[in-house]
Amino acid sequence: MATHATAYAEPSEDIAVEPPAAITLPPEVDNFYAPPAGQVAAARPGEILRARRINPAFFGLVQLNIDAWQLSYRTTDSFGEAIATVTTVLVPRGPAPEGGRKLLSYQIAEDSAAQYCAPSYVIQSGGLPIDYVNAAETMIPIAAGVGQGWTVVIPDYEGPHSSYGTSELNAQATLDGLRAAESFSPAQLSGAGTPAALWGYSGGTVPSSFAAEIAKDYAPELNIVGVAAGGLAAADYPEAMRHNNRGLYSGLIMGVFAGIAGEYPEVRDMLRDNVVDPVAQVLLASKQLLCHPEGTALVPFYDYLGALSYKGDPLAAPAVRRFIAENSLGRRTPSMPVYIYHAQYDEILPNAGVDRLVDKYCAEGAPSVVYDRELLAEHISGVAGQLPGAFHWLRDRLDGVTAPEGCTISSPTFVMAEPRFWQTLGEILPTAVQALIGQAIGANK
């Protein structure tokens, strides 16, 4: 497990900032995403390799009145090797408050094995919103983060090979994205002392929650005050795959296999040798080309696990067992407060694994765990339904409010019926509307 970084990017890096690209190109053909291998190998984790301004836009069309840059930076893959990825930095218009801004790293549920599905592409003016779910999700950190006067970073945490589901790589890329932003003067931060928080839902919890477990060893200098994660995806990988096989969301299964095959050569070899059915071969190839809305919708109710000719349970294959062992949550205990929210009857990600994970954190003495188990909820609606709880919890942490010690577990019946839900919408929705009509947001916070 490559979680020890002995050297990292120092603050106040002096790097030339390039102008926005004349034409917005997908990462597959944009050389900004492919710095020279020698430059990457010589850099420290979090060191900025290139920087450029971008014109941010909602769905690639609606121009946003915020300052924005993209940073290409060095991070580390699952096996300790140097790689490069990109993070998007969003800053409110206007001067920073005394002492610098607070920092929110929001991990979008990319859930795809194709580079053009990356958040850094869909948030650019001129980017094609083929991944319309990711394009829509960008409004959450804009309204709830930039709208609060915070600097927001949205990392391409899957790395250069779109390694979907690889928790260790995803988490390291997220933590190095914080390092990069904190060394970038236009981000208006105060270096490694910057109060920083992480937030993600569903696939966005893969990097967020794993980062909470490894930050103490991988990036001990970062001042991460809290991590909010909803609809946890990596609490029980085998059960999630078995639960969805032959179901409405069965397309997610082969998407995960496509993602991890790009990172784990032995998984790639296992698929090559065991996906022999022509239909299954076409479906696997499609997952490497499609973003997750299209990839998930393609051929639901299919027996993806049964399509593998592996003798026995394919999830018990040595290559898959290794991936599960190295990328499942619960290997370590978070070193900072965490807020976890999950529907009791989540139709995509069964919550039994999340219950066990929380019990483990609590038994191992995690400093602060707040766990909301909503009764009348499911996975899709949880994005909006549980947003108020996560938003207020994160804001308290960034404002310096001490998190409750120990474990706090609650089982609300229906969050959308509670006053806090509508109060929070009253705070966030006007900001989202202001952003969509071109007003500067967060400048007066």
- Cα diameter, the chain: 63
Q: What is the pLDDT of residue 352?
A: 97
Same domain assignment for residues 304 and 372: no
Q: What is the pLDDT of residue 56?
A: 97
* pTM (predicted TM-score): 0.95
* Single-letter code of the amino acid located at 412: P
How many beta carbons lie within 10 A of that of residue 57, not counting itself?
21
Same domain assignment for residues 202 and 54: yes
Question: What pLDDT, in 10s, does the model give residues 273-300?
Answer: 999 888 889 988 998 899 999 988 888 9
| 299 contacts 125 by C-beta, under 8 angstroms | no
pLDDT at 8 exceeding the cut of 80:
no
Residue 445 lies in a domain: no
- Strands 338-343 and 224-230, by their bridges, are parallel
Helix axes 318-327, 167-182, angle to 10 degrees: 40
Residue 349 lies in a domain: yes
The tokens describing 441, both together, are: 């947001």
Report the C-alpha gap between 364 and 23 in whole angstroms. Answer: 51
Residue 2 lies in a domain: no
Same domain assignment for residues 61 and 156: yes
Question: What pLDDT, in 10s, does the model give residues 317-358?
Answer: 999 999 999 999 999 999 999 999 999 999 999 999 999 999
Question: What pLDDT, in 10s, does the model give residues 101-116?
Answer: 999 999 999 999 999 9
pLDDT at 13 exceeding the cut of 70:
no
Structural domains counted in the chain: 2
Domain that holds residue 316: 237-326
pLDDT at 11 exceeding the cut of 80:
no
User: What separation, in Å, do the N-terminal and C-terminal C-alpha atoms of the chain show?
Assistant: 40
Residue 264 lies in a domain: yes
Same domain assignment for residues 148 and 292: no
Same domain assignment for residues 257 and 225: no
Report the C-alpha gap between 176 and 101 in whole angstroms. Answer: 18
Compute and round to an integer the Cα radius of gyration of the chain. Answer: 20
Same domain assignment for residues 279 and 387: no
Q: What is the pLDDT of residue 431?
A: 93
DSSP 8-state assignment for residue 44: P
CATH of the domain at 412: 3.40.50.1820
Q: What is the pLDDT of residue 442?
A: 84
CA 402 → CA 226, 227, 368, distances in Å? 10, 14, 10
Report the C-alpha gap between 27 and 118 in whole angstroms. Answer: 8
Please enumerate in sequence order all residues whose Cβ is within 8 A of that of 427, keeping only pairs 6 or more positions apart, or say none: none
* Single-letter code of the amino acid located at 213: E
The tokens describing 394, both together, are: 């994160």
Report the C-alpha gap between 145 and 223 in whole angstroms. Answer: 18
109-121 as b/e: b if 16+ CB within 10 A: bbbbbbbbbbbbb
Same domain assignment for residues 116 and 257: no
Report the C-alpha gap between 258 and 171 in whole angstroms. Answer: 19
> Residue 5: pLDDT band by 50, 70, 90 thresholds?
very low
Report the C-alpha gap between 20 and 231 in whole angstroms. Answer: 35
Average pLDDT, the chain: 94
Same domain assignment for residues 308 and 408: no
Q: What is the pLDDT of residue 138?
A: 96
> Residue 443: pLDDT band by 50, 70, 90 thresholds?
confident
Same domain assignment for residues 320 and 338: no
Please enumerate in sequence order all residues whose Cβ is within 8 A of that of 159, keeping only pairs 6 or more positions apart, or say none: 75, 77, 83, 85, 169, 170, 173, 263
Region 236-262: mean pLDDT is: 93
Report the C-alpha gap between 218 and 170 in whole angstroms. Answer: 13
Same domain assignment for residues 201 and 254: no
Question: What pLDDT, in 10s, does the model give residues 37-88?
Answer: 999 999 999 999 999 999 999 999 999 999 999 999 999 999 999 999 999 9
| 370 contacts 405 by C-beta, under 8 angstroms | no
Question: E strands within 263-394?
Answer: 338-343, 368-374
CA 52 and chain centroid, separation:
22
Domain boundary among 326, 352, 367: 326
Report the C-alpha gap between 331 and 240 in whole angstroms. Answer: 18
| 288 contacts 260 by C-beta, under 8 angstroms | no
CATH of the domain at 263: 1.10.260.130
Whose structure tokens read 């931060």? Answer: 189
Domain boundary among 264, 296, 326: 326
How many beta carbons lie within 10 A of that of residue 59, not counting itself?
16
| 154 contacts 88 by C-beta, under 8 angstroms | yes
Question: What pLDDT, in 10s, does the model give residues 142-158?
Answer: 999 999 999 999 999 99
Same domain assignment for residues 64 and 109: yes
The tokens describing 219, both together, are: 């990036």
The tokens describing 16, both together, are: 């030339």
DSSP 8-state assignment for residue 56: B
Question: What pLDDT, in 10s, does the model give residues 302-327?
Answer: 999 998 988 889 999 999 999 999 99
Same domain assignment for residues 228 and 244: no
pLDDT at 12 exceeding the cut of 50:
no
Residue 428 lies in a domain: yes
- Strands 67-76 and 48-53, by their bridges, are antiparallel
Residue 362 lies in a domain: yes
Report the C-alpha gap between 42 and 64 in whole angstroms. Answer: 36
CA 150 → CA 154, 238, 339, distances in Å? 13, 37, 19
Report the C-alpha gap between 151 and 141 in whole angstroms. Answer: 10
Domain boundary among 306, 326, 346: 326
Residue 391 lies in a domain: yes
- Of 198, 238, 255, 261, nearest in space to 349 by CA: 238
pLDDT at 410 exceeding the cut of 90:
yes
Residue 6 lies in a domain: no
